[in-house]
């Protein structure tokens, strides 16, 4: 398994792409409210990426038709924006990517449309915090599986949640999806050793029920088989020259 090592200049370019993704997600998040359509959120994201001098790495990827993924309630990932209008209490996951100077950024968040259900809010907190536990474990000298082990350990310590098996994090660089595939579960101490210059997109996905999923007829939208609601958070980070996650 060959994992791409980036130079300092390449890491700086990747930072610009990821900063554009962050600003896009912040803008989309500010516009999430009852009554807005998911296609309207997509238009907001597309305009911001263009304004920031980037291009979408989602639109056209294996035929994907939009700039962002908007997944609602039992849709966990890869929901296609359309005419769906957000309703009070909806759990909304937004995934976004962008390219600047050939280098990719990728991130995601989940939010709840007011009013907020406490059980749903706790799930989001657990999912997001597990992301940071994974990043903290993915330091120079660690093994790739240490990331997923840390994610799973934290999630299991917080309650009964399903952790998606078929989907996970990935390397990222001059392509959006690169080696390695990073599971959100498993034993520590396996896989390649993490080195300076590597960049990973870590993305835990959990549900309130079973981890079993299926793909809808649009060939993209991933939903839970038991219709339980879920959450998805993602952040891209690099191993800086000093060996620390950044």
Within a domain: residue 149? yes
Concatenating the DSSP letter of every residue in 139-161 gives -TTSBHHHHHHHHHHHHHHHS--
CATH of the domain at 114: 3.90.230.10
Total number of domains in the chain: 1
pLDDT digits (tens, 9 = 90+) for 56-76: 999 999 999 999 999 999 999
Domain around 51? 8-238
Domain for residue 2, yes or no? no
Residue 186 domain-assigned (yes or no): yes
Within a domain: 243: no
Q: pTM of the prediction? A: 0.96
* Domain annotation covers residue 246: no
- Side-chain half-sphere CA neighbours of 160 within 13 A: 3
- Which pLDDT tens digit goes with each residue over 161-173? 999 999 999 999 9
In sequence order, the 6+-apart residues with CB closer than 8 A to the CB of 199 are 4, 6, 11, 14, 171, 172, 173, 236, 237, 238, 239
Specify if 29 maps to a domain.
yes
């Amino acid at each position: 398994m060959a994992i791409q090592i980036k130079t300092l200049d390449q890491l700086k370019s990747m930072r610009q792409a990821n900063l554009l993704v962050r600003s896009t997600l912040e803008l989309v998040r500010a516009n999430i409210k009852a009554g807005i359509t998911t296609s309207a959120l997509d238009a907001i994201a597309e305009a911001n990426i263009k304004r920031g001098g980037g291009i979408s790495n989602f639109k056209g990827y294996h035929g994907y038709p939009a700039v962002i993924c908007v997944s609602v309630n039992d849709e966990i990932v890869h929901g296609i924006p359309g005419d769906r209008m957000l309703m009070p209490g909806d759990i909304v996951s937004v995934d976004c990517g962008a390219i600047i100077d050939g280098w990719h950024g990728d991130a995601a968040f989940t939010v709840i449309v007011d009013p907020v259900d406490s059980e749903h809010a706790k799930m989001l907190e657990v999912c997001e915090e597990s992301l940071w536990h994974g990043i903290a474990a993915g330091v120079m000298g660690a093994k790739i599986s240490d990331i997923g082990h840390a994610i799973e350990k934290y999630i299991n310590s917080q309650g009964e949640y399903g952790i998606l098996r078929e989907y996970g994090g990935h390397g990222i660089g001059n392509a959006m999806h690169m080696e390695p595939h990073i599971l959100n579960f498993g034993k520590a101490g396996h896989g390649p050793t993490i080195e300076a210059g590597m960049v990973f997109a870590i993305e835990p996905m959990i549900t309130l029920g079973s981890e079993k999923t299926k793909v809808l007829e649009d060939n993209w939208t991933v939903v839970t088989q038991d219709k339980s609601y879920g959450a998805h958070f993602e952040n891209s980070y690099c191993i800086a020259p000093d060996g620390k996650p950044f």
